[in-house]
Structure 1
Amino acid sequence: MTYTATEPAGAWRGVDLGTRTVSYDERDAILYALAVGARADELDLVFEDRLRVLPTFALTLAQWAPDELGARGGFDTTTALHGSQELTVLAPLPRSGELTLRASVGEVWDKGAAAVFEVLVESDRFVAKWSLFAPGSGGFGGDRGPSKPALPEGVPEVDGVLETAPNQAALYRLTGDRHHIHIDPAAAERIGRPRPIMHGLGTLAASTVHLARLLGAHPADLTHLEGRFAAPVFPGDSQALRAWGNGTDVAFEVGDPERPAVTGARATFA
C-alpha cells in the first residue's frame, strides 16, 4: 500500500496522542539491563534484592507514543527514521509498578524534503522526546527548526571502547521493539544493510551504561540524556566511545570519528 498524507505535517503540532497506564515488574527491568550491557556482577542492576532500575528503561515503556502517531497517519512508518532522543529524569523508577504516561506531538519542523516530528511523553518520573525524521512530509511552509549541534572540540577526557554482544539486538527486541530489521537478515537487506542492526535506543542506552563506568558514576544516577542517531551499529561491533567535559556532565560520541553512530550526545549523572 502506498502511503498518502491526508493533511500537512504541520497540522499535527500539539495533537494529543492519549494517556496510557503501563505496568512492569522486576523481571522486565532486569531483562532490559542485560539487553543494554549490564554485567552479571553488577548486582544492583540484575539482582532483584538490590535492584536499581536504569532510567533509560522508561523509553521502552513509552514507545507506544511515537508508534501511535505513525498509526494515526502522521508519517509513513515504512520510511520514517528515529532521528534523535532526549530523556529527563524527574524521579527514580520503582522496581516494579504502574506509570501513567501522557503523550502529545510537540514541534513539527519543515526540512524541505522531510518533516521532523517531535513526540513528547510526560509522567511524574520522566519526560522523553522522540524526534522522527519523515521523508516526503516536508514542504508545508513551517520553520526548519534547530541546526545540528556542533561537534565537541579538543582532546576527549574519556576515550574508551563500547563492546556490543553478537546477540544484543536479539535480546533488546524482547524489551518491546520487535522490528524485523533487528533480527531478520532478509529484512535488514531490504533497507540496504548486510545484516540485522542494533536498535538506536539500545545503542544509546548501552553507551550510557559503559560511560558511567568510565566516569566512575552509577548508570542508575542518570538525570539527563540526549543523542542523535547518525549511522547504524551492528551487534558484535566494537565502537569508540569518547566524552568531553568535567565530572559527570559530559558531551559524547559513539563510533568512528569520521562517521559516528551517535553524535551530538550528552549525559548527566547525579
Structure 2
Amino acid sequence: MTPAGEWKGRDLGTRTVAYEDRDAILYALAVGARATDLDLVFEERMQVLPTFALTLAQWAPDALGSAGAFDVTTAVHGSQRLRVREPLPVSGELELSARVAEVWDKGRAAIFEVAVECAYFEAVWSLFAPGCGGFGGERGPSSGKRPESAPDLKIAVPTAPDQAALYRLLGDRHHMHIDPEAAKAAGMPRPFMHGLCTLAAVTLPLARELGADPAALLELDGRFASPVFPGDALDVAAWRDGDPVLGETVLFEAAVGDTTVISGGRARFSPSA
C-alpha cells in the first residue's frame, strides 16, 4: 500500500453531476423536512438545501478509497466541512473537481482530507483511516472545545426508524447503513445513520430556532464522535456565536443520552432580509 503521506495533493478528477428537482425534494424529506415546508419540498416555490450538495460530491471520498489509499472496511467519516458560494439551482448540472488536500499523521491512523469544489460550494471530507499512520507527517489541528457557558438553545431532534434507508437513495449506498451483517462486520450492533444525514438533520431545527431559513446556510462544520442509529432521539445544545448582523452563527453539539454523537459543530446562516 502506498504510504499515506504520498497521497497528499493527489488529483481525484473532475465529474459532471446532474440532478432534478425530485432529487432535492427527496433529500429534504430524508433529512427531516416536513410536508408543510413547501419552500423545501414543493417544486413550484422550493429552495434547495445547501447540504444537498454533499450527496452530489460523495463520489470523491469513495474514489480515494477505491484507489487503495486505505482499507474501506475500517475507515470512517471523521468530520465534514461545507462552505456555500452560491445557492444551488433547483435542477441542473454541476462540474465538480476533487483532490486530496491534506493527510495528517495520528500515529496509529491517518486522516485524509478530500476537498471538492465547484462554482456553488466547497466541501471537505475528513476520513479517519486506522493503520495508515506513522509515516512521519504532521498531526494536524486539534478539535475545537465545547464552550464552558450554558447553552443558549436546547433542541430535541428525532430521527426516524427508516431514515437511513431513505437517505441511501441519495447515492451513499454503503451496506453498513442497511444490512445488519455489514454493520456487524464494521463493528456496529446494527445498521446506523449516515453521518451527513444526522448533521443535516440538526441544521433544520437549528435554523428554525434562530429564525433563519434552512436554505440560507452558508457554513457548516461537524465532527462525527459516535454513531447514531435510526430512531434515536438527539439532544442538541447550541451557543450563539458572533454578530447576528453578519448572519446567525451557532456552535453546537448533539448527543444521544449521555453519548456525544456530533462535536465541534458550527453553522452560519445568512442574515434575514
TM-score over 0.5 (shorter chain): yes
Measure how far apart 1:193 and its partner are.
2.4
Measure how far apart 1:259 and its partner are.
2.5
Residue 161 (str. 1) matches residue 163 (str. 2): no
C-alpha distance in 1 between matches for 2:99 and 2:122:
12
Paired letter, 2:196: L
Q: Which runs of 5+ in 2 are unaligned?
A: none
Measure how far apart 1:194 and its partner are.
2.5
Select the residue among 230, 233, 238 that pairs with 2:228. Answer: 233
Residue 252 (str. 1) matches residue 247 (str. 2): no
Select the residue among 3, 7, 10 that pairs with 2:5. Answer: 10
C-alpha distance in 2 between matches for 1:100 and 1:153:
42
Residue 190 (str. 1) matches residue 191 (str. 2): no
Measure how far apart 1:54 and its partner are.
0.3
Instruction: Give the match's secondary structure for 2:44.
Output: helix
Identify the residue that residue 165 of structure 2 maps to in structure 1.
170
Residue 112 (str. 1) matches residue 111 (str. 2): no
Q: Is the 8 A contact 2:74 2:186 kept in 1?
A: no
Instruction: Give the match's secondary structure for 1:32.
Output: helix
C-alpha distance in 2 between matches for 1:69 and 1:192:
22
Residue 220 (str. 1) matches residue 215 (str. 2): yes
Measure how far apart 1:229 and its partner are.
0.2
C-alpha distance in 1 between matches for 2:73 and 2:171:
18
C-alpha distance in 2 between matches for 1:116 and 1:190:
22
Identity over aligned pairs, percent:
64
Q: Is the 8 A contact 2:61 2:125 kept in 1?
A: yes
Select the residue among 66, 70, 82 that pairs with 2:65. Answer: 70
Identify the residue that residue 263 of structure 2 maps to in structure 1.
263
Instruction: Give the match's secondary structure for 1:170.
Output: helix
Paired letter, 1:226: D
C-alpha distance in 1 between matches for 2:259 and 2:147:
14
- When normalised by structure 2's length, the TM-score is 0.95
Q: Which runs of 5+ in 1 are unaligned?
A: none
Q: Is the 8 A contact 2:232 2:256 kept in 1?
A: no
Give the 5 Å matches for 1:63-102. Answer: 63-102=58-97
Measure how far apart 1:91 and its partner are.
0.2
The two structures, once aligned, show a CA RMSD in angstroms of: 1.1
Instruction: Give the match's secondary structure for 1:109.
Output: strand
C-alpha distance in 2 between matches for 1:153 and 1:54:
31
C-alpha distance in 2 between matches for 1:192 and 1:109:
24
Measure how far apart 1:192 and its partner are.
3.0
Paired letter, 1:159: K
Q: Report Cα offsets for 1:127-150 as digits up to 9, x if no partner.
A: 000000011111110001011211
Measure how far apart 1:74 and its partner are.
1.0
Identify the residue that residue 24 of structure 1 maps to in structure 2.
19
C-alpha distance in 2 between matches for 1:107 and 1:237:
33
Residues 251 and 257 of structure 1: is their aligned pair in 2 closer, same or farther, counting only changes over 3 Å?
farther
Select the residue among 200, 203, 210 that pairs with 2:205. Answer: 210
C-alpha distance in 2 between matches for 1:235 and 1:77:
23
Q: Which runs of 4+ in 1 moved over 3 A?
A: none
- When normalised by structure 1's length, the TM-score is 0.96
Identify the residue that residue 48 of structure 1 maps to in structure 2.
43
Q: Is the 8 A contact 2:164 2:230 kept in 1?
A: yes
Residues 73 and 31 of structure 1: is their aligned pair in 2 closer, same or farther, counting only changes over 3 Å?
same
